[in-house]
């Protein structure tokens, strides 16, 4: 029997406002535990929350970028549950009137994955469980603004869910409402999953998956659950409606608890806050602040720069990277060279060091000058790699590095011919191999010449001269 998987996602994303959602405490995580709290975010009796307008602005911006309708009228509700890191014993969230609804994200295959709603809520604090068996509480995060984005169960595979998350993350980062760092918890994702036989007669119960720390974990957990659901249905059994957590070390999902339903939370309208009313002008004012979004940028890049799609994906992996690329291209016109050096040498280093492009030590002008040195043949590609490494690590100008390291390319044919002759004299066996048709010998000889010239000889000239001498 064939089965279809139905996947819906719930994504929590922390908003990049300076202050918390209902008080003026900072949202920064720099500093000691429990130093960014006040009576309001600690939920002390007698305090009153006030909605941070910037939070509403950001939610509208996210809604517009995700093709949602913006509700002209919404309200906050109390969601009642107790956790030690939620001092009020309720979370202020939105229940039946979310701020945005009915949006979508388009996939590469031009498929619409619908977004049911986006609502506002406050984050809870953090419990830290120590090895000694005690628990510590840090309330710096309590009251940090969140949007929860809930999709329809429109995804049918782990790949599709992965793509949706990548696209969503890129959009939220492009509009600068969230930094979406999953490893730091500013983006969190829960999955709802079940499977259905093709004729619709067998349907498994929906299972919720939590504790997913990366997009890869989301994909792996979905694949694991798909198999588990189908396996149970085939045995004429079914899944239990429950919440399971992903265990990355064991590569499996494990039961956490039975699933809560809306009625378990006894929602009611938050009596300490008024309604949120958003008029047409407010929405239009926010709409004007939305920059070019990833899908449009990609289309423009393909048209304007004529580069392969997969290269463009790397070049626009973040908005800052895309801006960097375009700024360099303004200074140095060889688009392919710019693309190659950014994608291969720069991107690799950024990834290795876990740094952002705005933390690099060299300027756009220096990077352009560096490319110019290679283009003009002042240094060869190999030397270029050395110069780039030094530029990246020290921020020195390329000219300074070339001078200090003596990397200027040797173009003088006579000088190179002398080195070639010396290498040939020292390697009679390779000459013999070459004459017997072993092409590898030529590569070896070129390598020796380059080594002797300390990487500075022009490789094309080396190639020509060796062939001349051999034939």
- In this chain, which of 11, 15, 25, 207 binds Zn ion, going by CB under 5 A? 25
Q: Does 38 bind Zn ion (CB under 5 A)?
A: yes
Q: Does 41 bind Zn ion (CB under 5 A)?
A: yes
Q: How far is the CB of 76 from Zn ion (least distance, A)?
A: 17
Cβ distance to Zn ion smaller for residue 40 or 172: 40
- Which one of 19-27, 337-345, 350-358, 370-378 is the stretch in contact with Zn ion (CB under 5 A)? 19-27
Q: How far is the CB of 335 from Zn ion (least distance, A)?
A: 49
Q: Does 21 bind Zn ion (CB under 5 A)?
A: no
- In this chain, which of 6, 9, 23, 150 binds Zn ion, going by CB under 5 A? 23
Cβ distance to Zn ion smaller for residue 16 or 442: 16
Angle between helices 413-426 and 459-470 (to 10 degrees): 50
C-alpha–C-alpha distance, residues 156 and 164, integer Å: 11
Q: How far is the CB of 21 from Zn ion (least distance, A)?
A: 9
Cβ distance to Zn ion smaller for residue 37 or 445: 37
Q: Does 51 bind Zn ion (CB under 5 A)?
A: no
Q: How far is CA 308 from CA 70, 315, 333, 409, in A?
A: 37, 11, 17, 31
Q: How far is the CB of 40 from Zn ion (least distance, A)?
A: 5
Cβ distance to Zn ion smaller for residue 40 or 100: 40
- Which one of 25-33, 345-353, 380-388, 408-416 is the stretch in contact with Zn ion (CB under 5 A)? 25-33
Size of the site for Zn ion (CB under 5 A): 5
Q: How far is the CB of 55 from Zn ion (least distance, A)?
A: 14
Cβ distance to Zn ion smaller for residue 16 or 410: 16
Q: How far is the CB of 42 from Zn ion (least distance, A)?
A: 7
Residues 160-179 interacting with Zn ion (rule: CB under 5 A): none
Q: Nearest 5 degrees, angle CA 309-CA 313-CA 315?
A: 110
Q: How far is the CB of 172 from Zn ion (least distance, A)?
A: 24
Q: How far is the CB of 333 from Zn ion (least distance, A)?
A: 52
Cβ distance to Zn ion smaller for residue 47 or 464: 47
Q: Which residues are at the interface with Zn ion (CB under 5 A)?
A: 23, 25, 38, 40-41
């Amino acid at each position: 029997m064939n089965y279809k998987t139905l996947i819906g996602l719930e994504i929590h994303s922390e908003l990049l406002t300076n202050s918390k959602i209902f008080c003026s405490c900072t949202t920064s995580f720099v500093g000691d535990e429990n130093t960014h709290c006040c009576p309001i975010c600690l939920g002390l009796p007698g305090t009153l929350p006030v909605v941070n307008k910037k939070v509403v602005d950001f939610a509208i911006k996210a809604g517009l970028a995700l093709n949602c309708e913006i509700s002209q009228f919404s309200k906050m509700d109390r969601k009642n549950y107790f956790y030690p890191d939620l001092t009020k014993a309720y979370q202020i969230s939105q229940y039946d009137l979310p701020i945005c609804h009915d949006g979508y994200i388009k996939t590469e295959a031009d498929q619409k994955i619908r977004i049911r709603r986006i609502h506002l809520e406050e984050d809870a604090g953090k419990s830290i469980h120590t090895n000694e068996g005690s628990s510590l509480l840090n309330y710096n995060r309590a009251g940090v603004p969140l949007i929860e984005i809930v999709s329809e169960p429109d995804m049918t595979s782990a790949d599709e869910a992965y793509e949706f998350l990548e696209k969503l993350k890129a959009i939220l980062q492009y509009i600068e409402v969230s930094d979406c760092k999953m490893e730091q918890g500013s983006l969190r994702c829960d999955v709802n999953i079940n499977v259905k036989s093709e004729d619709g007669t067998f349907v498994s119960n929906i299972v919720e998956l939590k504790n997913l720390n990366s997009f890869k974990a989301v994909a792996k957990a979905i694949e694991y659950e798909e198999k588990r659901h189908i396996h149970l249905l085939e045995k004429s059994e079914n899944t239990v409606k429950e919440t399971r957590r992903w265990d990355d070390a064991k590569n499996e999902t494990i039961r956490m608890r039975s699933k809560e339903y809306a009625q378990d939370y006894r929602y009611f309208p938050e009596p300490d806050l008024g309604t949120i009313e958003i008029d047409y002008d407010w929405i239009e004012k926010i709409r004007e602040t939305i920059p070019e979004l990833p899908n449009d940028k990609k289309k423009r890049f393909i048209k304007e720069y004529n580069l392969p799609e997969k290269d463009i994906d790397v070049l626009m992996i973040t908005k800052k990277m895309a801006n960097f690329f375009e700024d360099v291209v303004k200074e140095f016109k060889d688009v392919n060279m710019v693309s190659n050096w950014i994608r291969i040498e720069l991107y690799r280093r950024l990834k290795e060091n876990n740094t952002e492009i705005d933390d690099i030590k060299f300027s756009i002008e220096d990077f352009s000058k560096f490319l110019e040195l290679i283009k003009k043949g002042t240094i060869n590609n190999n030397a270029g790699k050395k110069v780039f490494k030094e530029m990246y690590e020290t921020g020195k100008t390329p000219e300074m590095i070339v001078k200090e390291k003596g990397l200027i390319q040797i173009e003088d044919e006579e000088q190179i011919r002398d080195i070639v002759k010396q290498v040939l004299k020292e390697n009679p066996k390779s000459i013999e191999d070459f004459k017997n048709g072993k092409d590898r010998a030529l590569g070896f000889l070129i390598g020796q010449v380059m080594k002797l010239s300390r990487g500075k000889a022009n490789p094309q000239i080396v190639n020509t001269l060796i062939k001349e001498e051999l034939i």
